[in-house]
Structure 1
Amino acid sequence: MTTYRTVSIDGLDIFYREAGSRNNPTILLLHGFPTSSHMFRNLIPALADKFHLVAPDYPGYGNSSMPTVNEFDYTFDNLAEIVEKFIAAIALKKYSLYVMDYGAPIGYRIAAKYPERVQSLIVQNGNAYEEGLREFWEPIKAYWQERSPENAEKLKYLVTLEATKWQYTNGVRNLEAISPDTWTMDQHFLDRPGNDEIQLALLYSYGTNPLLYPQWQEYFRNYQPPTLIVWGKNDYIFPADGAYPYQRDLKDVEFHLLDTGHFALEEDGDAIANYIDQFLTSRLQSIPV
């Protein structure tokens, strides 16, 4: 059974979902934009018989606190620091990291800092290579270069209902398989007063991530975490161009391109759960049969 909990980190309420026995290997699930731990609502119970699963909401997302941009500096460094303190607060010692979208730069900061804690990586449309930043990112790159009102205006469409729905439906095989609860839930949180400013701040901060790609790639090469790639190949935001380069730096890679879009769990959640089960069972010890 999934439980829904909150822990205080630096005065912020950090909401998280948790399921499975702590005696089993832990998977720390790090969500993307513009969603929350809600994206893992089906994956968690699918794996809870063999694994301990934990999925936090970042500040500004889901059911966690949403301080304003004047009260909290929304950068990927700070989100990673909050997640790092969250890991300490709930006493996780070792874990596999499931990273998706924004979860990748958050998770990789932590993995590079504490490589001995990371037992494996599960990468679903999470970028760590320049090849993965293509057409979608051009107006965002312009914003990195010049943080002007004009460049910001070009990005405001990303918090609209139309854009949120598009993230879930673009590139999928079967539109009827995608629940409207997904974009409705995300949009509810995006529409809170001040959240648009939070998202703009993080879009700007994303420009710090490519500068760290060499460091993260060095972590891959030096520590060689076993890595499962389950990537929606029709994703326009993080296309498959960003999936292939992992194979340059990692020796133990299981690689799956799925015929779906950005939020691959919505259409291929059962397949991803099976891949994770088989992969971790073959790589980690002390998993119940």
Structure 2
Amino acid sequence: MTIFKTKLSALALAVLFSIGSFAHAENTQHSNHQVHYRTVKIDGLDIFYREAGRKDAPTVLLLHGFPTSSHMFRNLIPALADKYHVVAPDYPGFGYSSMPTVDEFEYTFENLANVVDKFTEKVGLTKYSIYLMDYGAPVGFRLAVKHPERVETLIVQNGNAYAEGIDNEFWKPIKSYWKKRTKEQGDKLRSLLTLDATKWQYTYGVRNVETISPDTWGHVQPLLDRPGNQEIQLALFHSYGSNPPLYSNWQAYLRKHQPPTLIVWGKNDAIFPAAGAYPYKRDLKNLEFHLLDTGHFALEEDGTKISVLIRNFLGKQLTK
């Protein structure tokens, strides 16, 4: 009987130890996947960001497009966080970051890039891969040119650096605004800030509209509709004209530094069509190229596929 009790006690301890170890593993995994919602001060502005993963893991800096925010990465962040330190800030005027008026802050891509640059330093990012999407491309390429030693890889999703990507019909009224910044020209662009236009950005070119969550425009549109935000977006429409003159610099950066690059591009995008993806092949030697059968916000329909491609790509590039 004593021997039986001893064996039973030993078995119970083993089971408890196993349960405790499993619980610890689960808690550790949960901790790595847990997304934290944080804010830091940059030049007096509150910059909101989402963060997950171990801080000693390789960092992936996610730079959002228009008219969204770090919200566009809400599913990608936990999908990468078990292996990577993932950080996604909101620019001033977007998401949950401060929204100073156009009289209080100069909304240019140069200034957005400066804020993001200071943000990376404030939160301690010394090396990172950059996810470049839409507005994130001119912000991210400015960072890359300024700090090439910090950039480990690039992940380009419908983010332009070549003239071929902005010579389509969508850009004609915006280019007119670059040339002539008048109230009349600006008012013609306000239709791009409506709920219908926001829905169109999320749904045009997708395979199945019923897979696109209305939580997307449900998040974005109320932020666009805040008093004063339309003026911010018009300022950035105009400032986008400062980007094409820098394309040659960004292309020179690609040729000189040859950052390993993953292209995951929604080929049905009416804003940044596939024509803007192909020219990267001219300048990059270490390039993985994927055109996806979806639209502008490719993560909404092909998020799982993109996360797998990113994990495979980073797994190869960051372990060399």
The two structures have a TM-score, normalised by structure 2, of 0.89
The equivalent of 1:84 in structure 2 is 117
Instruction: Decide which of 263, 270, 273 is 2:307's aligned counterpart.
Output: 273
Q: Distance in 1 between matches of 2:109 and 2:243?
A: 8
Mapped partners of 1:45, 1:144: distance in 2: 39
Is the aligned partner of 1:257 residue 2:291? yes
Which residue type is aligned with residue 212 of structure 2? I
The answer for the alignment partner of 1:101 in structure 2 is 134
Number of the residue aligned with 2:193: 159
Q: Which residue number in structure 1 is paired with residue 219 of structure 2? A: 185
Could you tell me how far apart the structure 2 residues matched to 1:86 and 1:261 are? 30
Q: For residues 41 and 69 of structure 2, what CA distance do their matches in structure 1 show?
A: 18
SS where residue 121 of structure 1 aligns? strand
Question: Which gives a bigger RCO, structure 1 or 2 (Cα 8 Å, sep 6+)?
Answer: 1
Runs of 4+ in 1 over 6 A off after TM superposition: none
Of 105, 117, 121, the match for 1:72: 105
The answer to whether residue 39 in structure 2 is matched with residue 41 in structure 1 is no
1:119 equivalent to 2:152? Answer: yes
Aligned match of 1:142: 176
Which of 196, 202, 210 is the matching residue for 2:244? Answer: 210
Of residues 56, 66, 89, the one that matches 1:23 is 56
Percent of residue pairs identical:
70
Counterpart AA for 1:155? L
> Cα RMSD over matched residues?
0.7
- Distance in 2 separating the partners of 1:39 and 1:239: 19
SS at match of 1:166: helix
Q: Deviations along 1:144-166, whole A, 9 cap, x unmatched? A: 00011221111010110000000
Q: 1:192 is aligned with what amino acid? A: R
Q: Return the alpha-carbon distance in structure 2 between the equivalents of residues 180 and 249 of structure 1.
A: 38
Residue among 151, 171, 178 paired with 2:205: 171
For the residue of structure 2 that corresponds to 1:108, the secondary structure is: helix
CA–CA distance in 2 between the matches of 1:73 and 1:97? 24
| 1:285, distance to aligned residue in structure 2 (A) | 2.2
Tell me the TM-score normalized by structure 1: 0.98
Gaps of 5+ in 1: none
**Equivalenced residues, count:** 286
Aligned-partner residue type, residue 54 of structure 1: V
Q: Distance in 2 between matches of 1:4 and 1:174?
A: 31
Q: Give the AA of the match of 1:257.
A: L
Question: Does the alignment pair 1:52 with 2:85?
Answer: yes
Please give the per-residue CA displacement for 1:73-112, whole angstroms capped at 9, x wherever unaligned: 0000000000000000001010000010000000000100
Amino acid aligned to 1:198 = I
Partner of 1:129: 162
Between the aligned partners of 1:216 and 1:114, the Cα distance in structure 2 is 12
Note the residue ranges of structure 2 that are not aligned, 5 or more in a row.
1-33
> 1:136-193: CA deviations, max 9, x gaps?
1010000000011221111010110000000000000001100001011100100000
